[in-house]
């Protein structure tokens, strides 16, 4: 039998994987710059952004290295203003080893303790960089991101369709509900908040009248009757209402056995959320506007939600989302990420969903942008029969089609232009 040294085995394992992604000369250059233990050595040389507006603003972030490889990440929702924040983080990151993902994340976070690093745009900007660093690490090492996160519990990740409907009783519903069913989704979501409801008595206060609650029940009943019995239905109140409304709506919807009722009240008062949760058999879901582990500690300790829904493109990144999911598992609480981004962010989220035991379902929110969705990455459609098969390609494993993506570019913003 042929004898192999540890070094020759590592070399043999690394080269084909890199070769599938990068030019052979690039792989050779990385090997040349590697340590005796074959740990690739490279430095961050630039960080660039491109901004699009699809379901709200998204900032795409690329981290470049002296090897020629780059990683790509995406941040969302709180992404307005993140391009300048990303630029400001360059002074911390340029020249650093990109494989120390968590150490770089921590350096940027603690450097901003007095500059808003507790959440919002600061952490959203950091999130885009963190995701790009994981993509880059996967490309450098020739491994999919889920592998770097500890391996996968499942090959396929269940996706729910946000129906993004203004009126679930109108003609839009007649088109969308059969389409959602035809695509094989096993779960979907509707919104219940309606600013223009004629039963509202006040245009500022969101205490729902009985007329508004009756309208919500009617919407849910109609959708529930129009979709297959087996399909799960979630309902979102977008954190607009108050505590008494949240309790009444959760109680009124109990007969429908919802997958969840989302953010009946705003997320800041954990006790109010807990009060609603403990008043009803309707599962309460929240968390899309909470940040990092510290945003979830009180929510979990008080068991204020039945299900948590971190937005992986703003919560702090892939590793941070995994840590939050692991924290939730200790309370037997499932993890159902909020997700409103392109196939790049969606596949990045899928790697995390594959890598945690308590994953329930992940959102997809581009039903009003299907043409852009299917062309945004070179791999085309990534959701098949309501599931994403997590790719084995290095990194996140999908690559932007820039001609398609540029159609959504925010006017006047840079498109991955180098920083001078």
Residues that bind Mg ion (CB under 5 A): 236, 262
Tokens of 64: 């470049």
In this structure, the chain runs to a length of 420
CB of 99 to Mg ion, least distance (A): 35
Q: Which is nearer to Mg ion, 71 or 267 (CB)?
A: 267
Q: Which is nearer to Mg ion, 77 or 262 (CB)?
A: 262
Tokens of 11: 């070399």
CB of 252 to Mg ion, least distance (A): 19
Rounded Cα distance between 26 and 33, Å, is: 11
CB atoms within 10 A of CB 331: 15
Alpha-helix runs per DSSP H in 51-119: 82-88, 90-93, 101-111
394: which strand partners? none
Element at 301 (helix H, strand E): helix 292-301
* C-beta separation of 40 from 141 below 8 A: yes
CB of 313 to Mg ion, least distance (A): 14
CB of 285 to Mg ion, least distance (A): 8
Q: What is the secondary structure of 262-330 as a DSSP string?
A: E-SS-SS-HHHHHHHHTT-SSPEEE-TT--HHHHHHHHHHTT--SEE--BTTTSS-HHHHHHHHHHHHT
From residue 170, how far is each of 185, 218, 310, 406 by CA, in Å? Answer: 21, 12, 31, 33
Rounded Cα distance between 70 and 90, Å, is: 15
Rounded Cα distance between 125 and 316, Å, is: 9
CB of 89 to Mg ion, least distance (A): 28
Q: Which is nearer to Mg ion, 74 or 262 (CB)?
A: 262
Q: Which is nearer to Mg ion, 328 or 339 (CB)?
A: 339
Tokens of 332: 């037997």
Q: Which is nearer to Mg ion, 109 or 338 (CB)?
A: 338
Classify the C-alpha dihedral 270-276-282-288 as positive or negative: negative
Tokens of 80: 């307005």
Instruction: Of 82, 87, 104, 86, give the one whose Cα is nearest residue 95.
Output: 104
CB of 262 to Mg ion, least distance (A): 5
* C-beta separation of 217 from 249 below 8 A: no
CB of 284 to Mg ion, least distance (A): 12
Instruction: Of 136, 148, 141, 137, give the one whose Cα is nearest residue 72.
Output: 136
Strands 284-286 and 307-308 come out as parallel
Instruction: Of 169, 285, 170, give the one whose Cα is nearest residue 221.
Output: 169
The residue at minimum Cβ distance from Mg ion is: 236
CB of 286 to Mg ion, least distance (A): 8
CB of 238 to Mg ion, least distance (A): 6
35: left (phi over 0), alpha (psi -120 to 50) or beta: beta
CB of 230 to Mg ion, least distance (A): 23
């Amino acid at each position: 039998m042929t004898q192999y040294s540890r070094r020759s085995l590592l070399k043999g394992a690394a080269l084909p994987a890199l070769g599938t992604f990068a030019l052979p000369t690039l792989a050779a250059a990385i090997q040349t710059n590697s340590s005796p233990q074959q740990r690739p050595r490279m430095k961050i040389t630039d960080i660039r952004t491109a901004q699009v507006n699809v379901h709200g603003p998204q900032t795409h972030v690329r981290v470049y290295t002296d090897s020629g490889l780059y990683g790509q990440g995406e941040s969302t929702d709180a992404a307005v203003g993140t391009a300048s924040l990303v630029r400001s983080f360059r002074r911390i990151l340029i020249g650093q080893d990109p494989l120390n993902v968590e150490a770089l994340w921590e350096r940027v976070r603690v450097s901003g303790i007095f500059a808003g690093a507790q959440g919002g745009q600061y952490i959203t900007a950091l999130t885009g960089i963190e995701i790009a660093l994981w993509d880059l690490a996967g490309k450098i090492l020739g491994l999919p991101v889920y592998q770097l996160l500890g391996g996968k519990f499942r090959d396929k990740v269940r996706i729910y369709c946000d129906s993004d409907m203004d009126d679930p009783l109108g003609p839009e519903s007649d088109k969308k509900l059969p389409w959602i069913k035809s695509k094989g989704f096993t779960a979907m979501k509707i919104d219940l908040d309606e600013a223009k409801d004629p039963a509202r008595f006040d245009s500022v206060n969101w205490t729902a009248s009985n007329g508004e609650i009756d309208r919500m029940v009617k919407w849910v009943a109609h959708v529930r009757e129009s979709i297959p019995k087996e399909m799960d239905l979630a309902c979102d109140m977008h954190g607009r209402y108050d505590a008494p409304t949240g309790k009444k709506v959760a109680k009124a919807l109990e007969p429908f056995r919802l997958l969840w009722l989302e953010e009946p009240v705003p997320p800041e008062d954990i006790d109010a959320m807990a009060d609603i949760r403990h008043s009803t058999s309707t599962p309460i879901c929240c968390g899309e506007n909470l940040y990092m582990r510290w945003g979830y500690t009180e929510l979990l300790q008080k068991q204020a939600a039945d299900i948590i829904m971190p937005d992986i493109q703003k919560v702090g990144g892939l590793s941070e989302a995994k840590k939050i999911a692991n924290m939730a598992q200790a309370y037997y609480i499932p993890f159902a990420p909020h997700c409103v981004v392109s196939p790049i962010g969606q596949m990045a989220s899928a790697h995390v969903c594959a890598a945690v035991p308590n994953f329930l379902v992940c959102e997809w929110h581009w039903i009003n942008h299907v043409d852009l969705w299917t062309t945004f990455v070179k791999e085309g459609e990534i959701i098949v029969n309501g599931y994403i098969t997590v790719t084995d390609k290095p990194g996140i494993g999908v690559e932007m089609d820039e001609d398609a993506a540029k159609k959504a570019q925010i006017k006047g913003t840079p498109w991955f232009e180098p920083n001078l």
